[in-house]
A and B are shown apart, each in its own frame.
Chain A
Amino acid sequence: MKRDFGEPQAIGIAIFSLYNIGCSSYLATIERKLKRLPGIKSVDVNHVTDTVSVNFNPAKISQDDIRNCMKQATTHEAKTEGS
């Protein structure tokens, strides 16, 4: 039986440092928001190294989109805490 694997799928990996994104206490929020985005396959937050590792489909989402989502999540969280 011939199996149809479809078009080859592009795969992307990105490793972000929380030093460049914002407060590391927002890691849970960042993880939750990223997992909702289209094209995100997995998110792995590391609380020891303060990094967020993302497996994504570059045809559906870019590294900049992911970074922007992370920045928005931390900004929103900071505003919520401040209010």
Chain B
Amino acid sequence: MINRMIGLMLPTVKNPRTRTVPKSFRIDESALIAVEKEAIAQKVSTNTLVNQILGQFSEFERFAKKINTVKPSSFVFRGILEAADVDKIIQVAKTAGSSIPQAFVTAKKGKVDLDSLLDHLRTLALYAHLYEYSDTLDSQGQVATLMHDFGLNWSIFLVHYITSMFEQIGVSPKLEMSDRSVILSLPGK
């Protein structure tokens, strides 16, 4: 019964926007034309696309700008990682992991706990393309897999970032890595 309850607590990846409301705005005509063109190209309604654009802002961008986020292309990002010194990567990862997730999660959720930090990892997959994310939860515990193609240095960064992130709440997940993935295991509650 307890395990069943834990299982039900795993959030869905879809944002909990279960209710829609009508709202009127005046917007620039050029912006509307651009969105309508994109909606046609993507074979989706303008309503859906506008909702997803606003979702990206409300779930990620408004918090990301507070931590001075920049967006290099994946080519540039990969190149910088390959050229970087491993000791420096570890140092940056530890510093970032002990501060950035807390700032982001506190602004978004109002509290820092296991669920909000795991949500942070999902958010980075969904909106920042830093890796692909999967997460399974059963009676044995929770296993999250982060897959990417940024090379070994990115896995090293993620391992130290995640370790420092969870240290802030006194949790020590088991971490394994390869040049394409990081696997994070948390024992069952």
Contact = CB atoms under 8 A, between A and B. Distances in A.
B48 to A, nearest CB: 7
Contacts of A13: 10-13, 122, 133-136
Interface of B: 1, 3-4, 6-8, 10-14, 38, 41-44, 48-49, 52-53, 55-56, 74, 122, 125-127, 129, 132-139, 145, 149
B54 to A, nearest CB: 9
Contact of A20 (B10, B132, B133, B136): B132
B136 A10 contact: yes
Interface of A: 5, 8-17, 19-20, 24-25, 27-28, 42, 44, 46-49, 51, 53-55, 58-59, 63
Contacts, number: 102
B125 A11 contact: no
B129 A11 contact: no
Contacts of B149: 20
